[in-house]
Chains A and B, each alone.
Chain A
Amino acid sequence: MIPIEHYLFLSSFMFVTGVVGVITRRNAIVVFMSIELMLNSANLVFVTFSSYLGNVTGQLVVFFVMAVAAAEAAVGLAIIIAIFRNKLTVNLDEINILKW
């Protein structure tokens, strides 16, 4: 019998790792991966509660999240390719035109 907190701790840890990754890394692809990490940590919470509460909805949401994640990955990576094609870099420090 595993206490529910352990699942949540695991999820929290992965989430924070993802956050740190998003902030510190400058390679757009790695930042993207960190985001996937955060998504998965959220998924874990959904599944955990679904299982503990005996409610199937959480798992269905996870299913949808995965689909969205897949879509997002496809589009996001395409954007990264497009940016790379234009600027020949995926270093986020150099992609800073979104300002005044």
Chain B
Amino acid sequence: MSLESVLFYFFAAISIVTSILVISSKNPVLSALSLILNFAGLAGVYLTLYAQFIAVVQVIVYAGAIMVLFLFVIMLIRPEAERNYFQERKSFKMLTIGIGVIVLGQLMFLIISGTSMFTSGGHSEQSLEVGTVERIGWELMTSYLLPFEAIGFLLLAASIGAMVLAKKKFE
């Protein structure tokens, strides 16, 4: 078992466990913290795919910025814990989980039965070059310049929108 494999399974295990924690913990703060961990785990998984840039951005943007925002909001509005979460609507929850399992099963079936399609392109190994900062930066500044600018604009609009929405009552 190569180091890559070890790292992948390790990070994957972190992601799986934390994702379950996210949806099952009573306290939203705990959910948020688990989600941070989950993102960190994902960043590790990205590294095993040689996507250095994405991995780093994942940690900085997601685990860093977005999740802090979440925590702030949680602190700000202090939602009461879903007290009866585990008692209430048990059957509905079981049904949902059942549906989830079915979907998971279907996805796995499709993945397995579709593997030949993925590997038929000849590239069965991860590429080392594509994930570098240089490569991504180059692409962003050349072929993807317009989307890049657009996304900047979107962020600006979103930040203004967020401010307007979160402001005190606007009469």
Contact = CB atoms under 8 A, between A and B. Distances in A.
A90 B79 contact: yes
Contacts of A34: 22-23
Interface of B: 2, 4-5, 8, 12, 15-16, 19-20, 22-23, 28, 31-32, 35, 38-39, 42, 45-46, 48-51, 53-54, 57-58, 61-62, 65-66, 69-70, 73-74, 76-77, 79, 82, 85, 89, 92-93, 96-97, 100-101, 103-104, 107-108, 111-112, 115, 118-119, 121, 123-127, 129-131, 135-136, 139-140, 144, 147, 151, 154-155, 157-159, 161-166, 169
23 contacts: A2-B4, A7-B45, A18-B19, A23-B96, A24-B89, A27-B79, A28-B79, A30-B28, A37-B38, A47-B46, A47-B51, A50-B51, A52-B124, A53-B123, A64-B151, A70-B66, A70-B155, A70-B158, A71-B157, A74-B159, A79-B165, A82-B166, A85-B169
If over half of B's interface residues share one DSSP class (helix, strand or loop), that class is named, otherwise mixed; here it is helix
Contact of B162 (A25, A32, A78): A78
Interface of A: 1-2, 4-10, 12-21, 23-30, 32-34, 36-37, 40, 43-44, 47-56, 59-60, 62-64, 66-75, 77-82, 84-85, 89-91
